[in-house]
Amino acid sequence: MANVTDPVCGMQFDSSQAEAQTTHEGTAYFFCSEECRKLFEANPEEYIGNTADSSA
């Protein structure tokens, strides 16, 4: 059981509850839906390039 964050929409959930998953450059990413996975795979850098999480 590991808490993960959907890089597309920011939702947090347990990895066992992820609806979709992909691997990018050796790192696994989990998603709340296939829609989020498709968005991520269309443009991964947009989601992982910006790790700043300061804006609430």
36 counts as binding Zn ion under rule CB under 5 A: yes
- For Zn ion (CB under 5 A), the number of binding residues is 6
> Of 7, 18, 32, 40, which lies in the binding site for Zn ion, with binding defined by CB under 5 A?
32
Using CB under 5 A, which of the segments 8-16, 20-28, 44-52 binds Zn ion?
8-16
Residue 28 CB contacts under 8 Å (≥ 6 apart), including other chains = 21, 22
Beta carbon of residue 35, minimum distance to Zn ion (angstroms, whole number)? 7
Q: Give the C-alpha distances (Å, rounded to integers) separating 2 from 26, 30, 42, 46.
A: 18, 11, 26, 24
Which C-beta is closer to Zn ion: that of 11 or that of 48? 11
Backbone dihedral angles phi then psi of residue 52, each to the nearest 5 degrees: -65, 125
